[in-house]
Every structure is written in C-alpha cells, then in structure tokens.
Amino acid sequence: MFRWLKKSALSSRILGLDMYEEGCALAVVDQANTGRPVITGVRWCPFDGAADKASALRRAVRELKARGLPVVAMLPASAYSLVQLEAPELETEELREAMRWRVKDLIDFPVEDAILDVFELPASRRPGAPSLVYTVVAKAHEVEDLGSLLLDAGLEVDAIDIAEMAIRNLALHLDKPGRPRAYLQLQPGHTIIEIADGPQVYLSRRVMQDYDVNTDIDLLQAQMENLALEVQRSLDYFESQYALGPADQLSVIVSDDVMFEAFCKVSRTFLTVQTERFSFAGMPSLDEVDLTVLGHGVTAVGAAMRGLPWAA
C-alpha cells in the first residue's frame, strides 16, 4: 500500500509486523530462496500502555536480531477504512485524486487528513457490471506515527500495509488455490472476510463483532451464526458479481481453538462451501519457531511475504 520514502536495507530477511492496540506480532521471513521462504523468528510484543510501545518494540527487535532489517508493517484496523467504489477510467494518480473526493462523505475524519491508495478489482464476467476499486483511506498521522515508531526501533521501513493485503499474500504464496477461495480471519472485534485467487482480491469485508469464548456457549453460537450469515452473503455476492461460480472453500485463519470449533459447528448448517482451517504447514521454519506465540497476529507472516514473486 503506502511505500516509504526511505530506501530499504539490502537483506534477504524481511520483518512483518501486525500492529494492535494491546501489542504487536513480529515475524522474520528469509526470502533468499524466493520459491521457498523460511520463517526464522517470531515474537508477540505486548504493550504496557501507549507509553511502553517504543521500548517494548525496541526490545523485541533486539531479541529477534532484526535491527536494520526492512519492515512491512500493518496499520491497526482503527487507522484506516477500506471503501469499494465504481472506478472511472483514469490513470492511477488521477484515480487516487478522484477517489479522495468520492470518499469524503464515507469516512469519519476529514479527507484532507487522509492518505489514499487504490487497488483495482478483477473485471466481472457479468454483462454490464461496472469496474470496481477498493480505496484504502488511512489517517495520515497514524501512518506517520507508525513509521516513526519503526524507525526509532532501528528498522528500515519498506512499506506500511493493511491486513487485507497480508491475507492475500498468505493465499498467494501458501494456500495457492486453483480458483477463487474465501478466507476468514477470525478474531474478536475485527474479523475479515476475503475472497482471493492468485494476486487478485475479489472481495474484502470487515465484521465488527466481539466473540464471547469464555461465557455462555449459547451466546457464542448465536454470534457465530450471525458471522456465518455474513460469510454466506459475501459468497453470494461474489457469485452474483463475478459470474465465476462459487468459491471452492472457506479457509479460516484463527488462533483460538474454541472459536474455530464454534464456527465450524454452525458452518455446516449455514454455509454452502466446506470450511477448513488455514495451515502454515507448507512454509518451512527454523526448529525454534513457534507460530502459536503470535496469536491472532499470524498475518505478520503475510506482511513479511510482500514482494515475493508469484508463479501461476
């Protein structure tokens, strides 16, 4: 998404960082062999309040021996909006400027304080279907503050990205489906539904809902039923908009076993596609690497895969 002005260090190791209010997930991926990248280190870095961010991140970077590495960092969900709009026939720079004024009434902060980027959605096979783009609208001060935090930790900022692109990278380089596949990044408060195939994102939606895994099982089931309905609506929209047939399955990116089992239970009734858990088994890692420490921040691995070549 947002490329940084500073030139990145020349290194085959890339740090991916997934930022949350309570902490951040870090994953180092060695891209020396672009056809077989290796996870060489991971950390979950908790924050003891906002004032602790800088020192905690410096400590985690030092523990990973990652100082000086290029980093691709994801903005927290509260820092940006993703807006789908019809695309006028314009060059990229003109398109960005046109989208700036089209989103001003769709966001909850002044558009003058925003940084924008756009990515085009695939053309539909449906006759008369409009061309569509997603416009990423980020709060400029959030992008700048994150960049400063990373530089202060001794990192070389390669790009500031978003979770939706990290999910696309995981699909592209690990899952490698033969046709469009649905993904569900399942986490309390900020769940993402995405349909992707190769480098193309067909659909991406957020579901802002909490999940009560430590309370009444009936309440959790009702929450998962609501989520399954949102997933099925997305699947139906994809079929209607693109005329490519159904997605081949739903792959769930989730760290909590209780949440996964609860969703699987309702998916058998509510969804028209098979549900599987996303697996990192196809990506090699050093023996000491334990991806479970990342918790819901496993998409940091996807961030670190940005820039890897894609082979169809």
Domain ranges of the chain: 2-76+142-167+283-304, 80-140, 175-277
The pLDDT of residue 47 is 93
The pLDDT of residue 3 is 62
The pLDDT of residue 5 is 46
pLDDT of the chain, 312 residues: tens digit per residue = 666 544 445 679 999 999 998 999 999 999 998 888 999 999 999 998 878 899 999 999 999 999 999 999 999 999 999 999 998 888 777 888 888 889 988 888 888 999 999 999 999 998 888 889 999 999 999 999 999 999 999 999 999 999 999 999 999 998 888 899 999 999 888 899 999 998 999 999 999 888 877 778 889 999 999 999 999 999 999 999 999 999 999 999 998 899 999 999 999 999 999 999 999 888 889 888 999 889 889 999 999 999 888 754
Q: Report the candidate in 4, 132, 141, 10 with the shortest Cα–Cα distance to residue 68.
A: 10
CATH number belonging to domain 80-140: 3.30.1490.300
Q: How far apart are CA 308 and CA 47, in angstroms?
A: 30
Q: How far apart are CA 167 and CA 135, in angstroms?
A: 17
The pLDDT of residue 210 is 85
Helix (H, G, I), strand (E, B) or coil at 117: strand
With residues binned 3-state (H G I as helix, E B as strand, rest as coil), the percentages for the chain, rounded to 5, are 35, 30, 35
The pLDDT of residue 178 is 85
The answer regarding whether domain 2-76+142-167+283-304 maps to CATH 3.30.420.40 reads yes
CA distances from 111 to 38, 76, 277 (A): 40, 19, 38
The pLDDT of residue 10 is 62
Strand partners, 275: 250
The pLDDT of residue 44 is 95
The pLDDT of residue 58 is 96
Positive/negative CA dihedral, 204, 207, 208, 213: negative
The pLDDT of residue 195 is 98
The pLDDT of residue 2 is 67
Q: Of 3.40.50.1100, 3.30.470.30, 3.60.20.30, 3.30.420.40, which CATH number belongs to 175-277?
A: 3.30.420.40
Angle CA(300)–CA(181)–CA(173) in degrees, nearest 5? 40
The pLDDT of residue 130 is 87
The pLDDT of residue 152 is 96
> Model-level pTM?
0.92
Domains 2-76+142-167+283-304 and 175-277 share a fold: yes
Q: Which residue has the tokens 């062999």?
A: 33
